[in-house]
Amino acid sequence: MSTDEPSITLYRLQACPYCERVVRTLEQYNLTYRSRFVEPMHSDRNVVKRISGKRSVPAIVDTDTGVTMSESGNIVTYLDRTYGNGGEN
């Protein structure tokens, strides 16, 4: 809604360890991101299905690179490669 939206959006579930793992990586690289919390009920996560094709969280959307991705292992690897050692930021 505002003009200074961060490029990374994290779809997450409260108290989900896999989501927290992604959060730790985002913080490690000082990335600004916004959090969108969804419901525990898998069937109620239509927004996640719509953006990523799956209802699993965490899922991230990075509008800087055009990447949408789910599963914490994949996301952490992506963040390491894109923003970690050897990356621009």
In the complex, the residues that contact another protein under the rule CB under 8 A are 1-3, 11, 34-39, 46-47
Long-range contacts of 70-75 (CB under 8 A, 24+ apart): 71/18, 72/18, 72/19, 72/21, 72/22, 75/22, 75/25
Shortest distance, position 16 Cβ to another protein, whole Å: 14
Whether 15 and 68 have beta carbons less than 8 Å apart is answered as no
Shortest distance, position 37 Cβ to another protein, whole Å: 5
* Nearer Cβ to another protein (37/87): 37
* Nearer Cβ to another protein (36/84): 36
